[in-house]
Structure 1
Amino acid sequence: MAGLSDQDVDIVIEKFQTKVSISEKPELGNHYEPNTSEPIAQPLRTLDEVLLWKPDEDGFNVATILLAKRTEAKAGKPYTLLCHDMMGGYQEDRFVQGVPKLECYRYYHWQYLDMFIYFSHYFVTIPPPSWTNAAHKNGTLMLGTVITEWNDGAERCKQVFASESAYKTFADKLVAIAKYYKFDGWLVNIENPIAATHMPQMVGWVEYLTKEMHTHLPGSKVIWYDSVIIDGSLKWQDMLNDNNRVFFDISDGMFLNYTWNEAKLKDSVKNAGERKYDVFVGVDVFGRNCFGGGGWNTNKAMSVIRSNNLSAAIFAPGWVMEKLGREQFITNQNKYWGILDDFLPTHGVSSLPFVTYFCRGYGEQGFRNGTVALVKSWCNLSAQQIQPTFLQVPQDTPDGKTGHQSMDHCVKDGFNGGGSLLLRGTLGQGQVHPYRIFETGIVPSHQLLVSYTVKCCNAVDACVYLDLGGDQGRVILWTSGESAEDKQPMSAYGLRESEQLDPSKLPVSKTTAKCTAYAPLKEASHKNMQDIVFGCDSSSIHCIGWQTRHYLLPTSAFGEGSKIEEMGVLCFPTESDPPKMDYMVRIGELKIINPDSLKNSSTQVSNLTMVDDSWHNILPHITNVTDQASFCCTLKWDYPYEAMHYDVYVSGVNRDPNHNRDLATSEVVFIGRAYANLFRVCHLLAPTVNGKEGQLEFKVQPSTQEGFVAPLAAATRIRVAYS
């Protein structure tokens, strides 16, 4: 693929003509920030807005990630629900394409959560797509909120519950909204009295909404908040009882108010019967009249909730940032969830493709293929990927000796995205450090293509292991092989199968009683995989210390009926008699995919178009720039498969928006990443042409959900001639 030019490949090029006519600001409506034209997420504030809502008018806010399958406990377990209430919602996260700052509220402990509710005090809260995408990647349901309160809420309820026709129309809109934006249900929070004459309609509405959600969105949930009781009074019960159980019986669960005591919880258990796990006991992290006082004492409430074997609804975890500040947010966030670890059952992701760069959806810079592609801070939770199941805690080494170990996220270096997983420790002679990273339940019913990318130092290397559970043992993905590539069977994918090794010869074999081991692909097979991963001749890519190993595992690597229950990393010294040493190992990527997906790796986008284009003066905060005009437009395209993301490039500019440097107009420069099949170009600086014709050329490069990048040299493009 090296050196491809426009003459070497069949490139789809669309053309677009525009006249530079400066206007004050883009006029795009309320789905966009008025001055910058950035697409934004927002709630529906009035009943009229809900009833007049139509699909297909807000594509930027549609989530793109399907809900991942997850591991499930063999026996029933209580659930954990998190109700987001960060400063009223719709803060920096309302900007669909992300923001150029790091100090935003973000969440990455998805292994603990069964449901996440995006909450605000607006009438109908639609979760920003970044939250839904992050939750779905990690197997967590995402719910929006319907809330009525105070006099305005009472008036809306009068209109909605005036008749069966009225409440069904409203419910049908809520179903359509959830289906269009691709989230998974609703929290219903009615916090104003309801007239007794309207109570039959309200009960009918909750029942109808729940039924219709289940019909149109299988697996969705409708959760009732403990507020209004059967006679229409607003009386929080702090328990499940005869006053509110009618709503429990016709919904998927009840979110109890926060001022409960243990006696009320015991009664709730009795009243719930077999549905005790559908009782979500409210815990206010701000501690407002809450058992234990919230904050660092949230574990006290959780201890009582779990001792009664009930589910938990943790409200307003933004306390960590709102109360303690943004500067030490990550440290405090990890401390807070670490305190709760004993009370939160975990789950992992069990569907394919399993792909993660360990990105949390933010960074001090942005990495691509081990090099810096973006030199400014950023945050976009749509970029977040599958997060580790297990906490970063020291572990004992297999020989019984305790060696210092830690596992954490690092934003200082990464392979792709905003960072990497950093493993640190001190190794002595004969020691191997295991790190449990993911719980999973992948069933290997066909060959698997596995890869991982590492950066090691100080005479220490690392390999990945796959635990199969039971007596099936462990598969070790070793760092090197013994025989020549042509000794291995050729697969249907043009790759040689991985060589099976004698595990007794490996220094890490003592980490488990039973194991098999495989060598990475080498020579032509390794080169072919690297070319597919990078979308070009990989010999031209310099990854600055990162090393990727690929494995094509035959079905014989897994016993009949086995599944991959855990994935982790083993760190070990590369010398036979090493001194005691400190080490750092970075894991930049881990993938398990179906090799059939290789056939889609070079597919380009189609039907690339441009709409809503406009020209403007340079924004006031941009200084020391002359002879430039500001160009805005929306790019749209089609793509036949699910994508991880799309990278957007431009040529024809003489300023790099991500590196703040001068360019030749012939250079192709990265300008942004889209997580849907459209991208808003916001105030791109284009050189003024003084009566001549200028030209911008945009390219869109897709990455498949397996992380394979289509060749940029053949990317579909659109040329914009302006004068």
Structure 2
Amino acid sequence: MPFSVRHHDKDTTEPISFYLSSLEELLSWKPTDDDAFNVAMEPLADRHPPLRSSRPRTVVCHDMMGGYLEDRFIQGAVVEHPYAFYHWQYIDIFIYFSHRMVTIPPVSWTNAAHKHGVSVLGKSKANAARCASLKGEPRPWDCLVFRLLHIASMFYYNNRSTGIVNLFLACRVFFDVCDGMFTNYNWTEDHLERMGSLTGDRQADVYVGVDVFARGHVVGGKFDTNKRKDLIATYNFTIFLFFRVLNFESCRKAEIFANQAPFWNLLMDHLPTHGISTLPFLTSFCQGFGKRHYFCGEEEEQGSWFNLSAQEVQPLYVHQASEGINRGWVRTRGCPEDVWNGGASLLVEGAIPPGMQNVAVRLFSLQIRPPPKLFLSFVFKVADGADTRVSLELKTSGAPSCLFEKVSAVTASEKAMQPRFLHGDHKLVVNFQNRCRMQADSKWITQKKKKKNLDIRNFLGQDISLTFEETVGARWLRKVSSFLGVLEVFDAESLTAAKPLVQGMTLSGILWRKGSYDTSRKLSQLYLSATLRWSCEPHLASHFRVYCLGAHCPKDGTPSDPRSPALIGRAYACLYRVVDLAVPDAPAGKPGWLEFFVLPVTKEGFVEVLPESAKLALEYSEPL
């Protein structure tokens, strides 16, 4: 069967994200079955303060070498030093930029942004020459707008009306009828003053451009971008960051993560921090890439990988120090070496100054109205030899009359709570353990020892912190560190909720080939590529694990245990393209046999077992 080159890599048939290059492509676009790979699985999560509030916002326009690089591969790619954005808690809108006529954000960016409650925009451009062909059409602009809205709604990214202009009296009429306007980055304070006099009470709807590369005659930029932000904040305008990935394009790729932290640390005191307001809340701190892939503390796959759809909700990344001779300090960063799930854990490290017995490191801002029974669990590892007690701290505020938009006004009633420890024989713990079915690495302290349950009705959850407490006092600076593997918060009632059901599995787009990735092999290997599809209740599963029984190990053709299904991939939608799966030749005169399994992973992190999963069998034979 022919494969659409718009949706599939021409060499491997892997699904890829796409864009539209011309007006003709836009006007002729119609949804097809192949578009399903590009539809975001993640709904836009709730967060506070919400985008609709009248406060100034923060927009990042992501421009990375023209776009559609390794991030175009929907099921992930092998990348040694990828670029990933993970400071979502500081921004409101993410724009994926390219120079194409219609930029459709790669689905992995939309999934990652939506997990954090960040709206995603594409980009479109059309000049007079391109639009000349529409002159004979009735209401031509309506046709274009309809097409763009259809594409945005189809792929679950957001749409917003904007215009590039410096706001002055002659264009005030356009500002009055659109959602907002953004300016270029070559502005002066005089421009801000004039715009301020024309916006009325809509200052937050003026998006003032700031170029991270400091092009043109501007103040600030690069690692002085905070100077521009301060000036914009004076007029209550929204900041629009033209983010040409400064820390990636202007430094060695291996140093990318060392440069991300200082850039955002400069801005963190100038930007509002958004709170998570959706339960269940679970994160393994995976940043969407890694040197290996881990599951429950065990290495599952070797080799570098990159897939932003696998990115989990990210914490506050901080690097702060106190003043004085014996300065205490704290830092949080991703660690790809000690991992529980995915490609990274969270390393929380610091030093407790003399005279202090404990220190709390804020990880997440929350704005949740907890259910009657809130269940907290975390997996962690303490550095060898450390005489430190690690615990979770939940900060709450009295909330009978608290409004989300005015949460800062209730700080007088803030309380720090230590959730109650539950022993392993508690019925909630037993139920949780049965649904997780996790086997822990002995170096990690697992959920079984850290089940927390708390009755906190009439409170508003505000912050989650990790607390280090020294068990032995000291008169000198003491270093502390801990690796966090998983943190989850959910309604205890969800432990008895129905499991997501996978059904209706089908196989299509089958492609066979013979060859070998290993030139030293004398015999050619049989490879299968095909598309698995299934149905599942929407928004119950975070992703799916795809297994195959009867196949060889991928690519190298090494025989695997015929009695045990092998993991062949992870899907972040209800379909998965199997690419070059090494399978044995069919026996002479008999059919070959394969069996595929799909295991859903719930929003709470629960994983089903293979006998209970959906499956599909495939028989094949040599051609006559």
Q: TM-score, normalised by structure 2?
A: 0.89
3-state SS of paired residue (1:376) = strand
1:416 maps to amino acid? N
Counterparts of residues 413-424 of structure 1 (less than 5 Å): 413-424=338-349
Matching of residue 630 in structure 1 with residue 522 in structure 2: no
Cα contact 1:468–1:565 (8 A) shared by 2:
yes
Q: Render the CA deviation track for 1:400-455: whole Å, top value 9, x for unaligned.
A: 98534322111111211111111123456861121011111010143222211111
Q: Structure 1 residue aligned with 2:41, among 33, 40, 64?
A: 64
Summarize deviations over 1:152-185 as a string: whole Å, max 9, x none: x322233457655221121111111111100111
Distance (Å, rounded) in 1 between the aligned partners of 2:152 and 2:583: 39
Is residue 620 of structure 2 the alignment partner of residue 694 of structure 1? no
CA distance in 2 between counterparts of 1:448 and 1:52 reads: 51
Amino acid of the residue matched to residue 222 of structure 1? S
Residue in structure 2 matching 1:223, options 145, 154, 162: 162
1:46 aligns with 2:46: no
Question: Which piece of structure 1 moves more, 132-141 or 332-341?
Answer: 332-341
| Correspondence 1:255 to 2:158 | no
Structure 2 stretches lacking a partner, 5+ long? 401-413
Match of 1:452 in 2: 378
Deviation at 1:391, TM superposition (A): 2.2
Q: Distance in 2 between matches of 1:521 and 1:405?
A: 31
Give identity over the alignment, percent. Answer: 34
Give me the whole-angstrom Cα distance separating, in 1, the residues matched to 2:490 and 2:442. 22
In structure 2, the CA distance between the partners of 1:426 and 1:284, relative to structure 1 (3 Å rule), is: closer
User: In structure 1, what is the equivalent of residue 512 of structure 2?
Assistant: 615
State the match for 1:646 in structure 2. Answer: 544
Report the Cα distance in structure 1 between the residues aligned to 2:53 and 2:23, rounded to whole angstroms.
Answer: 43
Q: Secondary structure at the match of 2:109?
A: helix
Structure 1 residues 47 and 53 mapped into 2: Cα distance closer, same or farther (>3 Å)?
same
Instruction: Map 1:214-293 to 2 at 5 A.
Output: 221-226=160-165, 239-292=166-219
For residue 80 of structure 1, what is the aligned residue in structure 2? 58
Three-state SS of the structure 1 residue aligned to 2:152 is: helix
What SS does structure 2 have at the residue aligned with 1:684? Answer: strand
C-alpha separation between the residues in 2 aligned to 1:85 and 1:331?
20
Q: Does residue 717 in structure 1 map to residue 604 in structure 2?
A: no
- Partners of 2:224 and 2:477 in 1: CA distance: 40
Gaps (5+ residues) in structure 1? 1-24, 186-220, 227-238, 473-511
Match of residue 505 from structure 1: none
Q: Secondary structure at the match of 1:664?
A: coil
Following TM superposition, by how much is the alpha carbon of 1:581 offset from its aligned partner in structure 2, in angstroms? Answer: 4.7
Per the TM alignment, residue 245 of structure 1 is displaced from its structure 2 partner at its CA by 2.6
Instruction: State whether residues 393 and 416 of structure 2, in contact with CA within 8 Å, keep that contact through their aligned partners in structure 1.
Output: no
**Letter in structure 2 aligned against 1:547:** T
Code of the residue aligned with 1:179 in structure 2: it is S
Whole-angstrom CA distance in 2 between matches of 1:695 and 1:241? 70
Do the aligned residues in 2 keep the contact of 1:464 with 1:567 (CA within 8 Å)? yes
Q: Return the alpha-carbon distance in structure 1 between the equivalents of residues 461 and 376 of structure 2.
A: 12
Q: In 2, Cα distance between the equivalents of 1:106 and 1:56?
A: 30
Counterpart of 1:223 in 2: which secondary structure?
coil
Helix, strand or coil at the partner of 1:111: helix
**Cα distance change of structure 1 residues 530 and 623 upon mapping to structure 2, 3 Å threshold:** farther
Distance 1:254 1:684 in 2: 50
The letter for the 2-side match of 1:347 is H
**Once the 2 structures are TM-superposed, how far is the Cα of residue 467 of structure 1 from its aligned partner?**
0.5
CA change 1:604–1:631 in 2 (3 A) is: same
In the alignment, is the contact (CA less than 8 A) between 2:348 and 2:481 conserved in 1?
yes
One of 128, 153, 178 as aligned partner of 1:179: 153
Amino acid at match of 1:465: E
Which of 425, 439, 444 does residue 545 from structure 1 map onto?
Answer: 444
Query: Would the alpha carbon gap of residues 75 and 632 (structure 1) be closer, same or farther in structure 2, given more than 3 Å must change?
Result: closer
The answer for the alignment partner of 2:361 in structure 1 is 435
1:356 match? 283
Deviation at 1:307, TM superposition (A): 2.5
Within a 5 Å distance, the mapping from 1:233-632 to structure 2 comes to 239-292=166-219, 294-389=221-316, 391-394=318-321, 402-427=327-352, 431-457=357-383, 458-469=386-397, 515=417, 517-523=419-425, 525=427, 526-534=429-437, 538=438, 542=441, 544-548=443-447, 549=449, 551=451, 553-554=453-454, 557-560=455-458, 562-574=459-471, 581-600=478-497, 602-618=499-515, 624=521, 626-632=523-529
Cα distance in 2 for residues equivalent to 1:656 and 1:621:
12
For 2:617 and 2:105, locate their aligned partners in 1 and report how far apart those are by CA, in whole Å.
Answer: 35
Partner of 1:666: 563
Letter in 1 for 2:503: S
**Matched residue SS, 2:340:** coil
* Inter-CA distance 579–285: structure 2 relative to 1 (3 Å threshold): closer
Say which is worse superposed, 670-679 or 457-466, in terms of deviation: 457-466
Displacement, 1:294? 2.8
- Greater shift in the superposed pair: 584-593 or 542-551: 542-551
Deviation sequence 1:620-649 (CA, Å, 0-9, x none): 577647442111000000111421110111
**Contact residue 139 and residue 348 of structure 1 kept, 8 A:** no
State the distance in 2 between where 1:719 and 1:578 align. 66
Q: How large is the RMSD of aligned CA atoms in angstroms?
A: 2.8
Taking the aligned partners of 2:557 and 2:237, their CA distance within structure 1 comes to 54
CA offset digits 1:527-579 (Å, max 9, x no partner): 33112112xxx5x654542421554635xx3252x210111111123458899
Seen in structure 2, the aligned counterparts of structure 1 residues 298 and 290 have a Cα distance that, compared at 3 Å, is farther
Q: Which has the higher contact order (CA 8 A, sep 6+)?
A: 1
SS at match of 1:632: strand
Query: What is the letter of the counterpart of residue 604 of structure 2?
Result: E
**Which of 120, 127, 143 lines up with 2:98 in the alignment?**
120
Letter in 2 for 1:469: S
**Residues 272 and 395 (structure 1 numbering): CA distance in 2 closer, same or farther, change over 3 Å?**
same
> 1:196-244 deviations in whole A, cap 9, x for unaligned?
xxxxxxxxxxxxxxxxxxxxxxxxx322222xxxxxxxxxxxx211233
Contact persistence 1:276–1:310 (CA under 8 A): yes
| Equivalent AA in structure 1 for residue 332 of structure 2 | M
Moved more, 113-122 or 703-712: 703-712
Indicate the SS of the match to 1:666: coil
The answer on 1:681 being equivalent to 2:578 is yes
In structure 2, do the counterparts of structure 1 residues 677 and 600 end up closer, same or farther at CA, with 3 Å as the change threshold?
farther
Matching residue's letter, 1:545: W
Kindly indicate whether the alpha-carbon contact (under 8 Å) linking 1:604 and 1:710 is maintained by their aligned counterparts in 2.
no
8 A Cα contact 1:134 1:385, kept in partner: yes
Summarize deviations over 1:237-268 as a string: whole Å, max 9, x none. xx211233333222111110121111001111
Of stretches 260-269 and 454-463 in structure 1, the one that deviates more from structure 2 is 454-463
Q: Aligned partner of 1:165: which letter? A: R
TM-score by length of structure 1 reads 0.78
